[in-house]
Amino acid sequence: MTQPESDSNHLIVDMQPVGRRIAIEVGKTLLDAAQEAGVGLVSLCGGEGWCQSCLVRHTSGEINPPTQSELDYLSDDELKSGFRLACQVIPRTDVRIDIPPESLSTPQRLQVEGVDFDVPLAPIVEVVDLELAPPTIEDLRADADRIEDALAERGLPEVRIELPILTNVSEVLRKQKWSIRLALRENEVIAILPSGSGIYGISVDIGTTKLALYLVDLLTGKVAAKVGEMNPQIAYGEDVVSRIAYATQNPDGRRILQNALVDALNKKIHEVREYAGINDWQIVDAVVVGNTAMHHLFAGLPVEQLVFAPYVPAVNQTLDIRAGDLGISLAPGAYIHLLPNIAGYVGADHSAVILSTELWKTEKTVLAIDIGTNTEISLASRGRLLSCSCASGPAFEGAHITNGMRAAPGAIERVQIMDGQIKLFTIDDEPPVGICGSGILDAVAEMKAANLMDERGALIEGRLNVRRNDADQLEFLLAAASSTGHGRDITVSRKDVNEIQLAKAAIRAGQEILLIKAGITADDVDEVIIAGAFGTYINIPNAIEVGMFPDLPVQRFRQIGNAAGMGAIQALISVEHRKLIEKVIKDVDYIELTTYADFQEEFVKAMYLR
Amino acid sequence: MTQPESDSNHLIVDMQPVGRRIAIEVGKTLLDAAQEAGVGLVSLCGGEGWCQSCLVRHTSGEINPPTQSELDYLSDDELKSGFRLACQVIPRTDVRIDIPPESLSTPQRLQVEGVDFDVPLAPIVEVVDLELAPPTIEDLRADADRIEDALAERGLPEVRIELPILTNVSEVLRKQKWSIRLALRENEVIAILPSGSGIYGISVDIGTTKLALYLVDLLTGKVAAKVGEMNPQIAYGEDVVSRIAYATQNPDGRRILQNALVDALNKKIHEVREYAGINDWQIVDAVVVGNTAMHHLFAGLPVEQLVFAPYVPAVNQTLDIRAGDLGISLAPGAYIHLLPNIAGYVGADHSAVILSTELWKTEKTVLAIDIGTNTEISLASRGRLLSCSCASGPAFEGAHITNGMRAAPGAIERVQIMDGQIKLFTIDDEPPVGICGSGILDAVAEMKAANLMDERGALIEGRLNVRRNDADQLEFLLAAASSTGHGRDITVSRKDVNEIQLAKAAIRAGQEILLIKAGITADDVDEVIIAGAFGTYINIPNAIEVGMFPDLPVQRFRQIGNAAGMGAIQALISVEHRKLIEKVIKDVDYIELTTYADFQEEFVKAMYLR
C-alpha cells in the first residue's frame, strides 16, 4: 500500500498542517497516531492527560467525548472550538486534526547554528546617555525639545523624534526621572531607555517551512539566544505557489498570511526576550531575510505578479520598515531592515547567503547552492556573480515520498547498502518510522550503486529487496515491519526515485547553465558551498553519485548550514555590510532558467543517475 | 426662574452634548424642545417624521413607544440603542437625550470664510507623469525599480517608495497600464495616480468646540470646498481640561478621544471629496492646526502634563505624520503637517494666526487676539513677538449664561438700549430664544451705558427692566415672554454679568501684561486684530465699553475671522510658509501669565466696567 487506507481494523488520521496521513488501529489515540507517523507532537506527561502539551484541534470525523482530564484542563471555549488533548482522543471514524505549531516539538534538525563570521561590530543603532533638566516654571521647554537641547549641548547632531516615540515621551521622561539612554538610528530616536540599558537586535530567516530567529546583543555582537519554529503559513499552503494562490484568491488572504507570520514571530520574540531577561523596548533593530514570496508576504507587498510570467517582484531594493507598521513588537521606533531581493525566485535570503559566504569578494570560482523547495544557486567567477533559481520541490523535506517525513526522531537519515546488507541510521536512534530528505537521497544513491535499478531509475525485479506491491508495482523494501517503530514496512517506490531525480536534475541543470553562462566548466570550480539545513546533512559522495553535483573531489565541497541566517546577523551587526550587499546585488547577473534555451536539454541530461 | 424646573405642566429636556436644559409643555415633542432651546436640530421634513434628519438618542426618562414612522425608518439595532426621531418623541417624564453631531445643523456662524491671502503657490507635493515599459521576459526589473529607472531616465532625482505605496504598487501599475502620475513629496512617492489626475490637500482647524476643514486644489491653490462640524470630543468634556481628565482617567481614554476626532474628520473628508468629485488618493497633503491640547489629542501625544504645572507640551516642533498612522483617509503615502506649538496653552492654531496675520513681518505695533474658551494674544512690537494665553472661559459661546446659547437661529446677537427702549437683533430674525456670545457682550455694555448697573456690575434696583426674580435676586428682563420664541422671559442676571466680567478681564489683563513686557502702552498700538468666529461678530465699541479692549479709535481694530484656518491654508499651499513659521515660532517670547507677578493686579483692575 502506498497510501494509507481505512479498513475494519484501521482508521485514517489526517494531520494538518504537517500534511501527514496515517492508518492507525481502532482504539489507538491521536497521540499514538502522531508518534507512529513521526510527527513530533509534544507529550511531556507521556500521554497521561495532565500536561496539556499535546493540544490539537479536531476538525472532522467522529471521536470520543471529552474525558475528565480534558474537562479539567481545557476551557469551555477551547472545547467548543474543537481543541482536545491528542492523548485523550480515540477516533471512531476517519478523522482530521490540526496541530498548532506550539504543540509540535521544535524540529530536531532546525539549523540555528551556522558558520562563524568575523564582522567588525558597527550596528546602525547606537546609544547616548543623557541627564535632562526637569521642567520648571522658569524653564517651560516642551519635553521633546529638552532632549534635542541636551544633545545639542553635548555637540551631537540634531535628531528626529517621530510619533512612536512622542506618543510616550512625557510619561517615559518622568518615569526615568529625566535620566535616560537614547537608542539612536541615523539621528532618529528609536527608544528612550533607562540609563545604562542594554540594546539588542533580532535577525530572522523566514523560510517557506521554518523560521529561525536570533537575538543579538548589539553592544557586544554576540548571539544571546536563538530559536526555531515552523512557519505557520504552512496551514495555508505547503509551498510558495499555493500560498500566493491563497493570498490572492481569498478576501484579505494577504493579510491573513501576514498576520500568521507576525503572530508567530512575536511569540518567538517574546520567548527570546524572556530567556535573555530583557523587555521589548530594548530590541532596537531587526534584519529579516526570506525568499521573495516570504519577503513580500511578511512586508504585506503584492504577490500575485510573482506567479504570472514574467514573475517580477514588487520591489527588489532594500527596505526599512517601522516594526510597528508590520505589527512586530520591538522598541517603539525600531525599524526592520529587509535585505534586497534579486528576482522573483531569488530572494533576500539568497542575498544573505552571498553576504555570509563572502561570494562578493572571492577571487576563486565558487558555486553557492542553497537547497530547499526552491534552490537558489550563485556562481562567482572572474569578478562576476551569476544567480538562478530552480524548482527543486519538497521531496528533500520528505514530502511527496511514500514514507517520507520531516527530519524528526525515527526518521531514516542515512542508508548504506553493502554486500546485500541494508544499514539504516535514524535520528535519535529511534526505531524507523519514515525517511527524511538526506535518507531518501542516500537510499537512491545506494540502490543505484548496488545496481538495484538502472540509470533511468527503473527498479530491477529480483534484485535485493525489490518486490511487487499490491498494485503490482516494483518497490524496494528499506525496512521490514518487524524492525520499524510503527510495525509497518518502509519502502521506496519507483515514484519516490523519480521525485528525487526531478529534484536533483533541477539543481544540477541550474549549476550547468550558470557554468555555461560564465564560459567555464565544472572542473574550473574551486569550491562548492552547500547552504541550508538539508544541505548540511546530505552525504556529499552520494549526492555526487546521483548526479546532484558535478563529480569533483569531495574536498572542494563545504557544508555551512544556515548561511542565510548568518548573513542576516552580519547585516544586523554591521551597517557597512548592509550597504555592501545592497551594492553587490545591483551587479548580480540573474539568469531566468525558464527562458533559457538550453535548460530543457540540461534538465533531461541531469535526470539520469550516473 | 434662572434654571428650568419641571412642574405639572412642564417637563425638563436635557440635551447633550450641547448642554442645554429646557422646560417644555407636556405633550410637546423633543423637536419642539430643541427648537425652543435654540438647538439647531436638523428637520428637513418639518416634523412629519419621514426625513430621519432629527435622529437623537434617548438616554433616560420615559417617552412614548416608537411611532409607525420610526418603525418604518429606523432599524431594530437603532431602536434598541435608543435612537428615535425627535419629532416623534413626546416625553412622559423629565428626559435626557444625546444629539449626534450629524443631527445638528452646521453652526450658523461657523467661520469658514476668512481674510484673503496672497501666497505664491508652492505646495510640498508635486506631480510627475511617467510612461513605464511593462515587464517582459527580457526585462525582469521589479515594479518599484521600474519607477526609479524611469525617473532617472528623465534626469529626476532618486525617490523613496515606502511601504504604503509598495503595498499596492504592482496592482496599481497594471491597472493604470504603466501610464501614471506620481505625487512626490520631497522625493518620496505619496501616490501613484492615473496620468493627468488632479491633486488636492486639506487644511483643518481643530477647535475645542468646532472643526473647520478646507479642501484646496494644489494645482491652482484655490479652495475647492469647505465644511464645518462640531468637535465630537464635546461628548467627553466641554473644555480642554475636562477632556484631558477624560483622556488620562479612563482606560484607553486618549485613544477614544483621538478616534472620535479621526472619525469625524474622515466623514468630513469624505463629504468634501464627494462634493469635489475626487477620490481619497487624490488628497496628497494636509495641514492641521489646533490648540496644544487638540494638537496632542489628535496626534495621540501625552496630555496629562498639560494640566499640571508647569504645563509643558510633549512637543512644540513641527510634526509630519503619515496620515495612515493616525487613521486619516488620504492618499496612501500622504503626510499630515502639524504647525508648531508655542506653549501648553498657545498652540499650533495661534502659530497659524501669526502666519496669516503677517505678524512675523510687520513693522507696526500690532496686537492679535484670537478669542475662544482660551484666548491667545500676540503682540508684535519693534521686531519682537510676545505671546500669552488667558483662560477666558466659555461665556462667549453662550455657556454658563442663564439664557445663553450658541450662535443659532433665534439667538439674540445684538442689543441696543436707548432712551429706555430695548432693541434686539436675532440670528435669521427669528423670535428670540436665548442670547449668544456677541449678544450677551452687547447686553452688558448697553446695560452699563444705560446706567442699569454700577462699574462693579451690580444691577441697580428700580432702573429699566431691573427686577427681582423668584429667588429675590436682581435680574434684567431683556425680552418678555410675550415676544420670545418659547413664550418665556429672557433675562440677564448678576451672575451672567459677572461671567462676562471674568472673561473680558482675563482677555484685557493678557493684553496689558504683553504691553508692559514690551515696554509700551496701549496708545502705541497701531492695530488690534481680532480673530476667531466670535471675534468677527462682536461690536467693537461695546467691547471697548466693557473694557475688553483698550480705548483706541475703532479704526485701529480689524476683525478677520478664522485666521487660524487661513494660516493652515497658507502652510498647505506654500512649503516656504511652513519653514517660515517654524523659524518665527522659535523666537516667540512666551509669557506665562500665572507666574507673572502683576497679573492678578491687572486682572482685578480689568474686572471693572468702565
- Mean pLDDT within A392-409: 84
State which residue of chain A sits closest to B594, comparing Cα positions: A137
Q: Cα distance from B145 to chain A (closest Cα, Å)?
A: 7
- Mean pLDDT within A553-561: 92
Asked if B331 and B282 touch (Cβ cutoff 8 Å), the reply is yes
Candidate from B144, B317, B595 with C-beta closest to A144: B317
State which residue of chain A sits closest to B174, comparing Cα positions: A305
Band (pLDDT 50/70/90 cuts) for residue B109 is: very low
Candidate from B135, B168, B305 with C-beta closest to A310: B135
**Cα separation values, B409 from B35, B36, B485, Å:** 9, 10, 10
Q: List chain B residues with CB under 8 Å of A141.
A: 312, 316
Rg, C-alpha atoms of chain B: 27
Looking at residue A192, what is its pLDDT?
Answer: 98
Say yes or no: ipTM exceeds 0.85.
Answer: no
Distance CA A262, CA A247 (A): 15
Looking at residue B352, what is its pLDDT?
Answer: 97
Asked if B292 and B341 touch (Cβ cutoff 8 Å), the reply is yes
Residue B307 contacts A, CB cutoff 8 Å: no
pLDDT in tens, A566-590: 999 999 999 999 999 999 999 999 9
Q: How many CB atoms lie within 10 A of CB B420?
A: 9
What secondary structure letter does DSSP report for A301?
-
Among A406-410, B408-412, B498-502, the least confident range: A406-410
- Does residue B281 have a pLDDT over 70? yes
Q: List chain B residues with CB under 8 Å of A314.
A: 142-144, 166, 169-170
Residue A132 contacts B, CB cutoff 8 Å: no
Q: Cα distance from A317 to chain B (closest Cα, Å)?
A: 8
Asked if B294 and B208 touch (Cβ cutoff 8 Å), the reply is yes
Residue A389 contacts B, CB cutoff 8 Å: no
Q: Cα distance from B218 to chain A (closest Cα, Å)?
A: 26
Q: Cα distance from B246 to chain A (closest Cα, Å)?
A: 17
Residue B242 contacts A, CB cutoff 8 Å: no
State which residue of chain A sits closest to B303, comparing Cα positions: A170
pTM of the model: 0.82
Contact B325 A168 (CB under 8 A): no
pLDDT in tens, B73-87: 888 888 888 999 998
- Does residue A110 have a pLDDT over 60? no
Q: Exposed, middle or buried: residue B155 (CB in 10 Å: 0-12, 13-18, 19+)?
A: exposed
Looking at residue B111, what is its pLDDT?
Answer: 40
Looking at residue A111, what is its pLDDT?
Answer: 40
Residue B163 contacts A, CB cutoff 8 Å: yes
Contact B163 A300 (CB under 8 A): yes
Distance CA B142, CA A302 (A): 12
Cell of B587: 523666537
Q: Quote the mean pLDDT of chain A.
A: 91
Helix (H) / strand (E) element for A126: namely strand A125-131
- Domains in chain A and their CATH numbers? 10-103 (3.10.20.30), 125-194 (3.10.20.880), 201-338 (3.30.420.480), 348-393+501-607 (3.30.420), 395-493 (no CATH)
- Does residue B110 have a pLDDT over 50? no
Q: List chain A residues with CB under 8 Å of B332.
A: none
Burial per residue of A263-296, b for 16 or more beta-carbon CB atoms within 10 angstroms, e otherwise: ebbebbbeebbeeeebebbbbbbbbbbbbbbbbb
Band (pLDDT 50/70/90 cuts) for residue A43 is: low
Residue B340: closest CA among B387, B276, B292: B292
Q: List chain A residues with CB under 8 Å of B144.
A: 314-317
**Cα separation values, A455 from A437, A444, A449, Å:** 21, 11, 10
Please confirm whether the linkage preceding B553 is cis (ω < 30° from 0): no
- Mean pLDDT within B101-109: 55
Strand order in the sheet with A434-435: A421-426, A411-418, A434-435
Contact A592 B140 (CB under 8 A): yes
Write the CB contacts of A482 (distance below 8 Å, at least 6 apart in sequence).
none
Contact B144 A316 (CB under 8 A): yes
Q: How many CB atoms lie within 10 A of CB A82?
A: 14
pLDDT in tens, B519-560: 999 999 999 999 988 888 899 999 999 999 999 999 999 998
Residue B507: closest CA among B422, B395, B402, B384: B395
Contact A142 B314 (CB under 8 A): yes
pLDDT in tens, A168-200: 999 999 999 999 999 999 999 999 999 999 999
Cell of B70: 420610526
Q: List chain A residues with CB under 8 Å of B140.
A: 310-312, 343-344, 590, 592
Q: List chain A residues with CB under 8 Å of B321.
A: 163
**Cα separation values, B97 from A551, B12, B15, Å:** 87, 11, 5
Q: Cα distance from A315 to chain B (closest Cα, Å)?
A: 5
- Does residue A560 have a pLDDT over 70? yes
